[in-house]
Amino acid sequence: MADITPLLNTGDSAHRVDIVIVAEGYTQAERDKFLADAKTFLDNFLGTQNARLNAPFSNYQGFFNATALFFASNQSGTDQPNNNISVDTYFNASQHGSDGRLLYGDSDKVELAVAQALASNAHELTIVLVNTPLYGGAGGSIAWASAGSSAASELALHETGHSFADLQDEYVDAEVAKSFSLSSLSFKNSPHVTDSLSRIPWSDWMGYVDGELGIVGTYEGGYYRATGVWRATKNSKMLSLGVPFNAPEKEAFAHKYYEAIGDYLSVSSRIPGLYTPVTPNNSLFSYSWKYNGQTLASNGASMFDAYANAAYAKGAGLSVTTLDNSGIIRKNIFATQQTETVIVSQPVKQIAELSYLLSSADQNQVLQFGSANNLIELRDFNTSFVYLDGGEGNDVLKFNSNLFGQKNLTISKLSSGTFLLGDQNAPNWALRNVENVQFQDYTVNLAIHSNATTIDKANLATLEELYVAFFNRIPDADGLNYWINQLKAGSTINSISESFYQGAIFYGAQTGYSVNMSSEDFVNLLYRNALGRKDGADTEGLNYWSAQLNNHTQTQGSLARTILGTAHNYKGDATWGWVADLLDNKIKVANTFAVDWGLNYLTPETSITNGMAVAKLVTATDISAALSLIGIPQDQVLFV
């Protein structure tokens, strides 16, 4: 009876390449040693850290399951006839030849034992790991490899070239050649060796620069013969160990993977209107989406926004077709493609109310609102898997809870412009034409995180600095996003600075600015805000800048920008370097609050007063107190 230990499980065996590692020459007391050897072997066989030598196995992550089958041998090791060593092992493995490199045992018994232990679709690739330190192995219907050799996985990769991918040896051995006819079907079907230059199976790869193996062409020698047979590259793993498989060999493996996994494609829809192909490894493919027979998108995006592409109507058919995008397959790549079709089962639900309370009846539906400013309330987090289209206007999704204390709020933006909202595990809501998510303590601006990347970083910092100069506060996300859009629409930094001055006057009760304040008072307030000079300007600076205002050389807006610029000039100065450091730290907090987290306080007034309180706690050397006052953990809001 086999002792079965799963090593890797990525999916249903019916749709995976199942690797089975069988113990040979391990006693019952050596079971743990076998499992450790099997895991090490598997890491080298599949792991990306060994990609140079194990590709294409490492390219097709997710295509494989792996199981260890332990059969206890009565004695440890393997037969070595040349050394007069005979041991009693389960599969009667033996190392032949002067160096023991030909290692094999009772393959029929292995196949029977594996078939009895595992389902018929759970053992496509069988490797017997033999407990011997001597290098050796063999191919055939199964692969044999010595576990104690540092080259065990390398040898097994070569042998699986035979047993799994139907590859041929490329080295020369005249004696062995007598047993391998050029008329054999396996040779005639070989993807990487040929006996006729008019029949080159790897013609799709001719001229390809195959990394360290050089240019794919026709190189004489292979299939144990020095002449009359040609191979695709000067060297490959089927010729020498310690080098990669060449491109035609990798392609042969990949085709065998697809043959083994069969029907690998399905389509899931966690949120209606959004469809995701399900494959063993979504990153390997590009996807072509069709709606009622018309192609709508063809790209590598694994989620398709059918609603945003006007491809969502009850009874309509939506299909997706895969294309292996790994670059490993050229010949007959269309044989690896699959198509899956889904039928839209729900109509779009039209909502006329301006204020709407989501209920359980809205789950698993697409809700389309009108063009007004809509307030969409969600009181129960269990009301999920809803696609919300707010339509035109300024629309808000309102939660009846605080942001603080919730699970991590994860926000991602699809290429269609639709936002996905949920926790780190999976999205629960899709939001289209919805501008803000409101909690009881904060609102989250959905657009700013990506919108901020569309302008120069220096201009973004300047906008944030204007909040410091005129309000001595961190910006709110809505306001900062507005000014980003104004800048993109053609407004200049100078005109925006003047607008900030007008805003500071409008909120004079909070900012201290007024239309009637003297030039001296204006300069002193700028020094306190922008430069952190609690006592205001020194006499020389006060007189100079006041004169600039009084003789109209500068406006209030331009002077603010000029003084902000002087702050950066202090960077590294032994006396005044803290001024630049303080301003930089205020901008760090501003960027965290408004851009990284997309946060707003609930009213313009609280945005000013609370933003001032946060900015007040920033020092030239520390921002932790300011972030603590915000009260949101670093990973509370994650834009991904």
Region of poorest pLDDT, from 69-73, 396-400, 630-634: 630-634
**For 93-105, what is each residue's pLDDT tens digit?**
999 877 778 899 9
Q: What is the DSSP string of 235-284?
A: --TTT-TTSPPPHHHHHHHHHHHHHHH-S--EEE-SSTTEEEEE-S-GGG
State yes or no: pLDDT of 80 exceeds 80.
yes
Residue 103 lies in a domain: yes
Give the pLDDT confidence score for residue 112 in this predicted structure: 97
State yes or no: pLDDT of 79 exceeds 90.
yes
Residue 583 lies in a domain: yes
Last residue of a domain, one of 199, 226, 251: 251
Residues 6+ apart with CB under 8 A from 505: 511, 513, 514, 515
Last residue of a domain, one of 392, 414, 441: 441
pLDDT band at 640 (very low <50, low <70, confident <90, very high): confident
Return the amino acid letter for 492: T
**For 398-418, what is each residue's pLDDT tens digit?**
999 888 877 778 899 999 999
pLDDT band at 153 (very low <50, low <70, confident <90, very high): confident
Return the amino acid letter for 519: S
**Same-domain status, 588 and 463:** yes
**For 98-152, what is each residue's pLDDT tens digit?**
777 889 999 999 999 999 999 999 999 999 999 999 888 888 889 999 998 778 8
What are the two backbone dihedrals, phi and then psi, of residue 538, each rounded to the nearest 5 degrees?
A: -70, 165
Pairing of strands 366-369, 355-357: unpaired
State yes or no: pLDDT of 497 exceeds 90.
yes
Residue 494 lies in a domain: yes
Distance (Å, rounded) from C-alpha 514 to C-alpha 545?
18
Residue 258 lies in a domain: no
| CATH code of residue 311 | 2.60.40
SS3 category, 70: strand
| Percentage of the residues of the chain whose pLDDT score is greater than 90 | 87
Identify the residue with better confidence: 330 or 408: 330
**For 158-216, what is each residue's pLDDT tens digit?**
999 999 999 999 999 999 999 999 999 999 999 999 999 999 999 999 999 999 999 99
Give the pLDDT confidence score for residue 408 in this predicted structure: 76
Range of the domain at 245: 174-251
Q: Both tokens of residue 99?
A: 């160096």
| Percentage of the residues of the chain whose pLDDT score is greater than 70 | 100
Residue 256 lies in a domain: no
**Same-domain status, 556 and 590:** yes
Give CA 272 to chain center in angstroms.
23
SS3 category, 171: coil
Residue 257 lies in a domain: no
**Same-domain status, 478 and 355:** no
Distance (Å, rounded) from C-alpha 513 to C-alpha 503?
9
**For 535-570, what is each residue's pLDDT tens digit?**
999 999 999 999 999 999 999 999 999 999 988 998
**Same-domain status, 142 and 181:** no
Contact 597, 632 (CB under 8 A): yes
Residue 168 lies in a domain: no
Burial bucket for residue 91 (CB in 10 Å: 0-12, 13-18, 19+): buried
Contact 384, 399 (CB under 8 A): no
Residue 259 lies in a domain: no
Burial bucket for residue 301 (CB in 10 Å: 0-12, 13-18, 19+): middle
Give the relative orientation of helices 152-163 and 31-46 as an angle to the nearest 10 degrees: 70
Q: List, in sequence order, the alpha helices (H) in 474-534.
A: 477-488, 493-506, 508-511, 519-530
Contact 101, 47 (CB under 8 A): no
Cα–Cα nearest to 275, from 235, 242, 231, 320? 320
**Same-domain status, 436 and 456:** no
State yes or no: pLDDT of 292 exceeds 90.
no
Give the pLDDT confidence score for residue 548 in this predicted structure: 95
Last residue of a domain, one of 140, 163, 186: 163
State yes or no: pLDDT of 639 exceeds 80.
yes
Return the amino acid letter for 472: N
pLDDT band at 433 (very low <50, low <70, confident <90, very high): very high
**Same-domain status, 79 and 136:** yes
**Same-domain status, 464 and 543:** yes
**Same-domain status, 315 and 375:** no
Cα–Cα nearest to 241, from 294, 322, 170? 170
Distance (Å, rounded) from C-alpha 422 to C-alpha 293?
33
β-partners of residue 599 are 444
DSSP 8-state assignment for residue 56:
T
| CATH code of residue 157 | 3.40.390.10
Q: List, in sequence order, the alpha helices (H) in 27-134.
A: 31-46, 51-54, 107-117
**Same-domain status, 334 and 369:** no
Distance (Å, rounded) from C-alpha 358 to C-alpha 258?
45
**Same-domain status, 359 and 329:** no
Give the pLDDT confidence score for residue 101 in this predicted structure: 82
**Same-domain status, 611 and 495:** yes
State yes or no: pLDDT of 376 exceeds 90.
yes
The domain tally of the chain equals: 5
State yes or no: pLDDT of 87 exceeds 90.
yes
**Same-domain status, 490 and 634:** yes
Return the amino acid letter for 4: I
Region of poorest pLDDT, from 180-189, 281-290, 377-386: 377-386
Residues 6+ apart with CB under 8 A from 234: 213, 214, 219
CA angle 631–633–638, rounded 5-degree value: 125
